[in-house]
Amino acid sequence: MKQNNIIILIVLDTVRPDYLSCYNSQRGPTPNIDKLANDSMCYRNAYSCSPWTLPSHASLFTGTYVSTHKTDSSSKFLNNTLPTIASVLSEEGYQTSGISNNMWISRKAGFNRGFNNFWHAWEILQQDRYRGYIGAALRKLYLRMIYKKLTFGTERIIRKAKTELVRLHESKPFMMFINFMEAHLPYCPPDKILRQILPTQISLREIKDVNLDAFKYMTGRIPMGEEDFEKLKVLYQAEVNYLDLCLGRFFNFMKKLKIYDKSMIIVLSDHGGNLGEHKLLDHQFCLYETLLKIPLLIKYPYQEIRGESFMRVQNIDIFPTIVDELNLNGRICSEYLQGISLKDKKSLGDRKYLYAEYHEINPSRETLLSINPKFNVESIEESLITIIADKWKYIKHEKNRDELFFIPNDPLESNNLADIDSEKLWKKEISKMPKFDICYSGKNYDFDSDTLKSLAALGYI
């Protein structure tokens, strides 16, 4: 048995790299993630291939683009024809444990495939085990009254993750997946953390009064200005800092159990978030860098590879990297995988483009119009595909004008350089790519009423 037989895969939902001090010394501080970064390979140009949770996690789990796995708003079930990281490792004899705090990433949606245990952090009683009226009443009570007040239950997740480490670390090799929702809207960081970075001219009460309903702002129901966005940025940073504190406890616990050094620890986010940039909040309706750029840290066993990389990499590369690290190449049907192992520098160097896609707006047209019947929903209701080259980024719009940006001079993507000639050139490049024609044929399911309410509170649906 190889020594490096522990894989910890951590998704920091909605965390932007530029709010971590290891990526941007002006922000943070996030000392615990920085410490992990010192032991890791830190990828400074990492991208998600989708701007939101469900398709992005499906890409991470299957190592494929959205057009391939087709898991999206209309087909919420994880494509069950593709192998996943957990299903492969489980077949290889790994114990697999999943902890999800995002309701899109659930057993109901099939994301538990390959996991021996898949724990929902938003449920006090795990549905599979406790049925009947009393179980249902307790679940409702917890979700409505308690869960939201627990700052997304991050402390509870850490406790659960530590219990899982104790249970798993002495037996077989194991893989653990954890999703943290702390940095997701609505922002409600603990006061103690918020006070540490609160600008002197703003009171705690004032900052908590800022509008946190992204869709009321984006549909024009509630106007917001630069001052409001500055407040949101402070709240968001406090959430990230608090998450950092909790992660520090988890990594220290790993060290106490003497499994930190030998583990492969992968920390990334599923997408970023808009904080007023492009007149947007949350993480929908665009494929700008604010949503697609993600932090990616990989601590290899015994810190054998570390440093920083400026290569353009994607979340679909994680699956092949794990396969490569565990020497499973010969045993895995790698023709499924569209990513490249991050240890394979030659192939990474040969990769010309990265791609990302957005095919369905979420929340739906009906929900957006129910927020503001006068909202021009046509202005955002379109599919988008982006092709990211070394310095150029082209965004193909289904209805609106295409966009072309020269990122080194225009990192905020505010100067659209697209013209007829560039459109021709880039559309030709896009046509060479894996098929981007979405046709939904996958399995689907409906949310129950409580989950619907909770997703609505998070700004979804």
The residues of the shown chain that bind Zn ion, judged by CB under 5 A, are 13, 53, 270
Q: Which is nearer to Zn ion, 138 or 455 (CB)?
A: 455
For residues 78 and 74, what is the distance between their CA atoms, to the nearest angstrom? 12
The CA distance from 231 to 229, in Å, is: 5
Q: Among residues 53 and 73, whose Cβ is nearest to Zn ion?
A: 53
Provide the minimum distance between the beta carbon of 102 and Zn ion in the complex, in angstroms, as a whole number. 6
CB of 240 to Zn ion, least distance (A): 14
What does the alpha-carbon distance between residue 58 and residue 310 come to, in Å, rounded to a whole number? 25
Least distance from C-beta 269 to Zn ion, angstroms?
7
Question: Quick one: 242 or 426, whose CB is closer to Zn ion?
Answer: 242
What residues have CB less than 8 Å from 441, skipping those under 6 apart?
70, 75
According to DSSP, residue 75 is labeled: B
Q: In angstroms, give the least distance from the CB of 29 to Zn ion.
A: 24
DSSP 185: S
Minimum Å distance from CB 271 to Zn ion? Answer: 6
**CB 181 → Zn ion: shortest distance, Å?**
8
Toward Zn ion, which CB reaches closer, 95 or 112?
A: 112
How far is residue 380's CA from residue 279's CA, in Å, rounded to a whole number?
Answer: 12
- Of 377, 385, 187, nearest to 286 by C-alpha is 385
Measure the CA–CA gap between 418 and 402, rounded to whole angstroms: 6
CB of 14 to Zn ion, least distance (A): 5
Question: Which helix (H) or strand (E) element contains residue 455?
Answer: helix 449-457
The type of residue at 22 is C
Tell me whether strands 307-314 and 354-358 are parallel, antiparallel or unpaired: unpaired
Backbone angles phi, psi at 199, to 5 degrees: -60, 145
Helix/strand/coil for 375:
coil
Question: Given the complex with Zn ion, which of 40 and 53 has the nearer CB atom?
Answer: 53
Long-range Cβ contact pairs of 328-337 (< 8 A, separation 24 or more):
328/88, 328/92, 331/92, 332/83, 332/88, 333/83, 336/62, 336/63, 336/64, 336/82, 336/83, 337/63, 337/64
Between 64 and 95, whose beta carbon lies closer to Zn ion? 64
For Zn ion, the closer of residues 53 and 241 by Cβ is: 53
Compare residues 385 and 458 and give the one whose CB is closer to Zn ion.
Answer: 458
- Distance from C-alpha of 391 to C-alpha of 378, rounded to nearest angstrom: 31
**Residue 249 beta carbon to Zn ion: minimum distance, rounded to whole angstroms:** 23
Residue 54 CB, nearest approach to Zn ion (Å): 8
- Which residue is nearest to Zn ion, using beta carbons? 53
Distance linking the first and last C-alpha atoms of the chain: 46
- The distance of closest approach from Cβ of residue 53 to Zn ion in the complex, given in angstroms and rounded to an integer, is 3
Cβ-based nearer residue to Zn ion, 53 or 67: 53
d(CA 245, CA 189): 12
CB of 291 to Zn ion, least distance (A): 10
Residue 217's alpha-carbon distances to 220, 222, 281, 351, 440, in angstroms, are 5, 5, 8, 39, 31
Rg of the chain (C-alpha set): 21
Q: Which is nearer to Zn ion, 168 or 275 (CB)?
A: 275
- Beta pairing class for 41-47 and 307-314: parallel
- Record the tokens describing residue 53, joined without a space: 């949770």
Is 13 or 123 the residue whose CB approaches Zn ion more closely? Answer: 13
